[in-house]
Structures are given as C-alpha cells and as structure tokens.
Chains A and B, each alone.
Chain A
Amino acid sequence: MPRSRLAFWIFLAPVLMWLLLLIVLPHLDLLTMSFRGENDYGDMVWTTRNYLNFFTEPIYWLTFVRTALYAVITTAITFVLAMPVAFYISKLARHRMQGALMILILLPFWVSELVRIYGWMILLRESGVLNFFLVKLGILHRPVEMLYNDATMIMGLVYTSMLFMVVPLVSVMDSLDDSLIEAAHDLGAGKLAIWRTIIIPHCKPGITSGAIVVFMLTLGNYLTPNLMGGKNSLWFTEQIYNQFIASFNWNQGSAFGFLLLVLSSLIIWAGLKLSGQKLGEVAS
C-alpha cells in the first residue's frame, strides 16, 4: 500500500523522542557522570577514581559478586520449582483446568511486589503467623525470627520472580507433541530418559528466556533484599541507592549503576548467544 511521508513522520517523531530523550541520553549521562569526580581542590574533573574505588574496596566488589551469585542460585531454584508446575499444567491437568490454573498462577503477580513481600513478613517474622501456629502446636517452644537471613531472602526472590519462569516453560511445553513422549514410553524409555532426551531439549528456548528474565529481575531487585534480608543483606542495588540518596555521591553511584548495567547486559547477551535466540523472540 502506498504510504504518505506524513504518516511515516507521525509514527517516527514520538518514538524517536521517547528513545532519544528517555533512553539514550540518560544512559550516556550515566556513563559520563561515572567518569567525573572532585579532585583535591574540589573541582570537577575527568577521573577513573569511581571505578578504582570499586575494585580497591573489597566491600563493593564482594557485594557485587555476592549479588550475582545469589541471582544465579535464585534462578536455579526457580527453574527447579517451575519445571514440574509447567509440566503439570500443560501435560497432566485436564483441559478445562488448564486455563483456570494459568489465571491462578498469573494473579498473584499482578499484585504489587511490596504487598507480596509484606505478606511474607507478617507470615515469617518473630510475632508472625507461622510462629504463632508452630508454638500453638508445640513444635517450637518459643518463636524464632525467620526473617532477615539469606535463605529467607532467596525464598522471597524466588517467589517474586516465579511467574517469569513458569509462563515461558508452559508455552514451550504446550508445543511439545504428546505422541513423542508416548512413543518413547512404548519403546521402553524410563522417566529419567524421557526427561533428559525429550522434554528438556525441547524446552530449551523457554528455559533460556525464563532464566534470563528471572536473573535480570533478581539482580536489579531492591525491595526483597532490603525488606527480607535484614540489616546485613548486602545487595548491590542497595549500594547504588545508598550512594545516591544517603551519601549523595552521584558520581560513585553512577559508576556502580553502570557496572550493574554492564553485568546484566553481558549475562543476557551470553545467554542469548549460547541458546541461539534473539531478544525480540524472548520478549514476546
């Protein structure tokens, strides 16, 4: 269909404004800010000190490594939990149940993350609901504090990002033809062999996209580590927040922010390369 130039510009102009003013320029600003700093005389100069600080202060890079490591652990646990759920929904549940189960899985994630974390806090804290029942039932003599440790924090992170693993897994499993599994079974394959040679290979694209999204969301999460991890939960986004809001050292904060951006982009890029996928496919 012949299109007018006018229509083209009407589509292009707002998109260009959005991408240039709100995506490109701010991130260029982030990059330049991270290379600026005060010298001994209090003047603003170009410097790499913000990055040097990161590498010379163990607390900074240790937090960075810790955050990345915990994000990997969270992703792995999320995958292990989501796999059977996805399998149940697409292969075991009755057809009429499938839609209802999907809605049930999606619903909690539309509720604000803060509300969900708050729910866990009133369940798990020392005066919480779980402690109340455990003491009532005589399992515990006195309430224990279940919040503010790493295990609970990881549980919270798994909970927050669960959906982003389950949904892609369900959609790839839906496309797996049941007759392949039936054939394998008829030919005498055991459960383990079926999982290893048929189900997992078929689900690879869904696994990758789920893992990438979960990893990225966990890495950039602020709320869950902050509220469930307690005072000594060192999470890199908290370091960034502290530099910006508490220390008011925007240059140092920008350097940290840029490092986090580089880390998450690198890992996502590597994940996409390894699985031979494109970002656009993963997203939709």
Chain B
Amino acid sequence: MIRSLPRSKTYDWSFNAFIILYFVFLFAPLVVTCVLAFNNSDFPSLPWQGFSLDWFLADGPDRVGLFHDAQNLRSILTSFETAFFVSILSVVVGTCASFLFEKETFRFKGLLYMLMLAPLVIPGVILGISQLLAANTAGTFFDDTFGVDIPIFRPSFWLVVLGQFSFITTFVTLVVSARLRKFDPSLEEAALNLGATHFGVIRHVTLKFLRPAIVGAGAVAFLMSFENFNTTLFLVGSEPTLPINLYLQVRDGSTPVINAVSLMLIVGTSLLALINFYFTRKTD
C-alpha cells in the first residue's frame, strides 16, 4: 500500500506505469508544440522535414518568423503592459485588503470579506460581460449628462486591466493574508516602543516580513494576467493581448509561427513559475 508496507511487484509496476502515462498526458501537448516549432514545414504537423529556425527568424516573403511578425510581437508587448499594470495594481490593493481583514476590526467586516471572495466563484466570462456592461452604462451616463465621451469606458487596454485586476486582487489578498497571519505583532509593538512612527513600522517591519509573499503574489498576478482569456475576451479593444491574438489565429488555421510563440511562452512562464516557487518556499 504505502512506502512502509510490503507491496507486490505487480502493484508497484502498474502504479508506476499509471504515473508515467499521466505525466505523458500532461506534457505531450507542450512537447509536441515545442518540437514542431523547429520543423521545416509550412504546417504545424509531421512529417519531420528537418530542423529550421525559420519560424523564429525568417523575414518573408514566404515565411514570416516570430521576430519579424509585427502582429504577434505587438500582442506580446500588449500582454506585458497589461500584466505589468495588473500586477502593480492588484499587489497594492491586495496588500491593503489583507491589512484590512487581518488587522482591523470594523462593522460589516464579514460582509466585505465575503464580497472579496466573490470573484472566486464568478466564472470569468460573467466577470467580463458585467464589466463590459458597467463600463458601457458609465460611458453612456457621462455622455448623456455631461456631454463628454470617455474612451476608457469602451473596450480598450485600460478596461482589460480593470477587468483582470477585479479578480486577480482576490488571489493576491489570500496569499498575502496567509503570510500576515504568521506575523508576530510584538515586533510592531517593540518598534513603536523604540520610537518608530506607525508608517515607519509598516514600512520597515511589516512589509519587510511580507516581502516574499508580496513578490510571490506579484508573480502569480503577472502570470494570471498574461494568460487570461475568458475575462479579456469581452473587454479587448483594438489591441488584443497574446491569448486573444493566438486564439484568432488558431481558430482560423495556423502556421508554425504559433508554435514559436507558444515555445517562448512555455519557456517564459516556466522561468517565472520557478522564480515564484523559489520565493514561496522561502515564505514557509
């Protein structure tokens, strides 16, 4: 059964085989995507036509590699910008929220806490359409009442940022709160007794203690924003993020350039995820 109990050979074998099959299932699509990015063929399929870096480096006219593909590069940049603003915003507000829920007592705290958790149970598509509706309502309101047209209320870059921020902040709050719960308040008291100001204490003692969790949460926020599809789908304007852009290409038939983009994405996210592991391990 378990490590310490005697097990039969068949049991061990079948279990190991199952686990190997499971990991093949887990990694097969990723490996195939990466390998086919180097296939010297116009379609993302076998047979193997030889090794080629065309899908990264080719500069037209027959093949346009990723590094010359303006549309894909543009969307990668958009995704980076979006993820940058989303992670900054959600880390700031999420940290405020965890201070609020862990250290303060006030009326309606329970209600507010439930509201904070709500994005966990709202499907991404619903979040997207409700943001779209609200932005549209707000836009119409400002247009009718004040006669001003505010572009931010139409599907646009900033609407995507707000939409992603609305649910990613919940995850940041949960991660930072978990760390804050382990904090020993007597450290703050000691600092106050020694003459520190309230904000000095928060800056030099509490935030220092929280730093690994905040960095980890920021990385998670960045990744979540970078790969978000469901919420972004409804809010995206003329600047698609990478997942939306890839979706359109995959739906309408594709060239191995998508494999090249995917490969970069796999390598990039794996690196960021590993950095995150490193930091969260420090937290424990």
Contacts and interface: CB of A to CB of B under 8 A. Distances in A.
Chain A residues touching B, majority SS: helix
B229 A227 contact: no
Q: How large is the interface on A (under 10, 10 to 19, 20 to 34, 35 or more residues)?
A: 35 or more
A122 B189 CA distance: 60
A85 B19 contact: yes
A18 B89 CA distance: 10
A8 B101 CA distance: 11
Interface stretch (A51-59, A200-208, A249-257): A249-257
B152 interface: no
Contacts of A25: 134
A150 interface: no
Given A4-B198, A30-B130, A122-B32, A284 B270 contact: no
A159 B25 contact: yes
B122 interface: yes
A162 to B, nearest CB: 7
A216 B246 contact: no
Interface stretch (B49-57, B58-66, B109-117): B109-117
Interface string A1-42: 101100110111011101100111111011001000000000
A222 B112 CA distance: 30
Given A19-B116, A29-B137, A84-B19, 6 more contacts: A8-B104, A22-B162, A30-B133, A115-B246, A125-B45, A244-B132
Interface of B: 1-5, 15, 18-19, 22-23, 25-30, 32-33, 36, 43-47, 92-93, 96-97, 99-100, 103-104, 106, 112-127, 129-134, 137, 162-163, 165-166, 169, 174, 177-178, 185, 188-189, 192, 198-199, 202, 223, 226-227, 229-230, 233-234, 242-243, 246-247, 250-251, 254, 258-259, 262, 265-266, 269-270, 272-274, 277
